[in-house]
Amino acid sequence: MIKSSILGYPRIGTDREWKRALEAFWSGKIEESEFHSQLQVIRLNHLRKQQEKGISFIPVNDFSYYDHVLDTAAMFGIIPKRFSYKGGAVPLSVYYAIARGTKDAAASEMTKWFNTNYHYIVPEMDGASPVLTENKPLIAYREAKEKLGIEGKPVILGPLTFLKLSKGYSPSETDAWLDRLIPLYVQILQELSNEGVPWVQIDEPILVTKLSLDDVQRLKTIYETFAASVPGINIMLQTYFESVEHYNDIVSLPVKGIGLDFVHGFSGNISSIRAQGFPKDKVLGAGIIDGRGIWKSQLREKIALLKELVKIVSPECLVVQSSCSLLHVPVTVKQETKLASELKDALAFADEKLDELVLLVNAITRDGAGIVGELEKNDRAIEALKQSDERNRSDIQHAVAAISDQPLERNRPFSERHIVQQKKWQLPIFPTTTIGSFPQSAEVRKARQQWRNAEWNNEQYADFIREQIDIWIKLQEETGLDVLVHGEFERTDMVEFFGEKLAGFAFTQNGWVQSYGSRCVKPPIIFGDVAFTREMTVEETKYAQSRTECPVKGMLTGPITIMNWSFVREDIPREQIAYQLAYALRQEVEALERAGIGMIQVDEPAVREGLPLKEDEQAKYLSWAIKAFRMATCTVKDTTQIHTHMCYCEFHDMIHSIEAMDADVISIETSRSHGELIHSFELNTYKLGIGLGVYDIHSPRIPLVEEMTSMIERALRVLDPKLFWINPDCGLKTRGFEETVDSLRNMVEATRIVRKKYAAII
């Protein structure tokens, strides 16, 4: 009989109770015992929900106290020496210090989980001696069985993926590290087998990326060792986010099941299975429900796919599941009471995806009996949205098509623009600035809520925002920053703020997803054609500029980031969505320039995360991503300085594309991985203005002047001092008042020291 499963469930809870528990513990409002109790309640509720809906294989150990990659490192005692770990089960104090840093120890690097907006903590292997500190999957399995009678499916991050996502070792040490890790995995699996665990899900998403032949051989060694050492346990080798590379080698591995993504990896995986079949002695985990998207599945298409798969795989060897963990989608649509019915009816969040899985299993098992009404309802919901006016705006479609055919270039090259901009702005060597946002205090959040609840009128709220701008303009001047920002106090989120002012967007009340740690975001929904409706940032930016003689940057979020950090429609290519956004943002850029704003920052921190995992698709994506940025920014005057901001990426494989965006100044988030990025500049030349983040804003610690001075001087070994800017590595929205001011003062002092040193050279 066909079974159902998911690969993981959202951690945060229906009302973000997980987030609140973490932050209460961090702030000392609850004790550790109470913290554990609260998280257990949340965790069991998630399992109970799946149990009640009838999911066959319920994942356990998918829950985390912060991040699943960090969990794996902690389970193996892979703890950086600076955190003074003494062995045994990793204390929460050490666990959270790795993630968040302390006064005396910098946090570990944080980066994107493949091509998603989820961030994981990068394990540091250097100097580590791995040992099994505790069997977390076994603990999770026992809890589910004892508390709820659930025969759970423990989830483990696989050894090849774990090692590939880690740092602190050379490629030549890969096999030696696997030799250390494999016995620990074997120990975990043996203890699970002794407990009677029937199935274990081992996640190896690295298998959808380009693998070397050596990696394929390593994969064989790993799973042959598991099969020989623990023959009694069923392993579901799980992949997701794309189609697998080396299909024949992977399906030949000695595991009981193979999980494939038939949503984002549909083309490659279905081609492989059609051409080469699937082993008769293995279970196919068919990921046909989108774990990353929010739209209802077209159920008739999914049923047709399942019927095709049943001809290749016997029903008892088929598990219908999500394409990846549901970590990447909100919890439930039920709480959304304000969405238009034609939009709400077309949505499926995590809980609704559980229902879809059960329905699909019933459709195949019972040959469609009893679900005709559900299929017709599904058809109507999808067709109603397709035919809506919002998805069929010919004015926008024609305008974007016309602009796409025009040259998208600035009037003069950067080398000439730089001269006229320097003449206009008269900035000192190593100009200092920030990325844009300043702390969103409780007072700011309360004021916004009062305004949204109509307790304050528009003028009261505008007065409050102006007061905040005044405070922070003065603080920036006193601190000694050269280029100022207005602080973005009127903005809830760098994407949501713009979406609320553009046509084609919708917003949920509780559509939260985890970004990193307790940081949750509520992505907008791009459901229709995007259109500029009114000026979005001019009023606040113009006011801020009127309060100072220093230049104030206009702050916009770029088209690719708005798209990648939103849930987007699926009926047109993402390229077309990007161009619609770019056309709307161009009109805002031009409005800022008309208002006298001569520096405009168009942030694109999410360009890298949208990069396709398949190398042969990357050039096309980068081409239209660059085109969208230039479409938004190319019409300004030569003296108008265009800035952008990006989060850390492997710069060497993006440098030419970033240069092609033709921004006058780029700032890059690098503080947790400064050395790696500097190495990229040793291999590549960058000829435009650039600022490397000199301190980590994700950590509550205040960086020392000496630390930042060292970072600046290292960067100047490979970057042109005449084009170098100094800034934090990201916005300061989440930081406290005192730490923000003290950190910026230290940054300016570090700048003064370096300026003095280089004054005679330049």
Write out the binding residues for 5-methyltetrahydropteroyltri-L-glutamate.
16-19, 112, 117, 519-520, 565, 609
Instruction: Give the contacts of 583 (CB within 8 A, at least 6 positions apart).
Output: 396, 399, 400, 403, 530, 532, 631, 632
Helix segments in 534-614, DSSP class H:
538-546, 559-564, 574-594
Q: Tell me the DSSP string of 500-553.
A: TTEEEEE--SS--EEEETTEEE---EEEEEEEE-S-SSHHHHHHHHHT-SS-BE
The Cα–Cα gap between 658 and 626 comes to: 8
Alpha-carbon torsion (61, 67, 73, 77), positive or negative: negative
Q: Enumerate residues 6+ apart whose C-beta is below 8 A from 204.
A: 158, 160, 161, 219, 237, 238, 239
398 among known catalytic residues: no
What is the Cα–Cα distance from 737 to 359, expressed in whole angstroms? 51
Q: Edge-to-edge strand order for the sheet containing 318-322?
A: 3-5, 318-322, 283-289, 257-261, 234-238, 199-203, 153-157, 59-60
406 class by beta-carbon count within 10 Å (0-12 exposed, 13-18 middle, 19+ buried): exposed
CA angle 162–167–168, rounded 5-degree value: 130
Residue 435 contacts residue 730 (beta carbons within 8 Å): yes
Binding-site positions for L-homocysteine read 435-437, 488, 603
Backbone angles phi and psi of 709, in degrees to 5: -60, -45
Residue of 46, 68, 328, 698 marked active site: 698
In our burial notation (b when 16+ CB lie closer than 10 A, e otherwise), range 200-228 reads bbbbbbbbbbebeeebbebbeebbebbee
Distance CA 152, CA 58 (A): 5
CA distance 60 to 197: 11
Q: Kindly report the CA angle at 168 between 163 and 173, in degrees rounded to 5?
A: 65
Listed residue (64, 63, 66) closest to 101, CA to CA: 66
Q: Is the dihedral of CA 563, 564, 565, 570 positive or negative?
A: positive
CA atoms within 13 A on the CB side of 563: 31
Pick the closest to residue 162 from 298, 80, 68, 270 (CA basis).
Answer: 68
Torsion of CA 257, 258, 264, 268, to 10 degrees: -140
DSSP codes of every residue in 678-705: HHHHHHS---SEEEEE-S-TTSSSPPPH
Task: Kindly report the backbone phi and psi dihedral angles of residue 365, in degrees, each rounded to the nearest multiple of 5, phi listed first.
Answer: -65, -40
**SS3 state at 463:** helix
Tell how strand 553-557 and strand 513-516 pair up: unpaired
On whether the CB atoms of residues 208 and 240 are closer than 8 A, the answer is yes
d(CA 602, CA 437): 13
Which residues belong to the annotated binding site?
A: 16-19, 112, 117, 435-437, 488, 519-520, 565, 603, 609, 645, 647, 656, 669, 730
Active site residues: 698
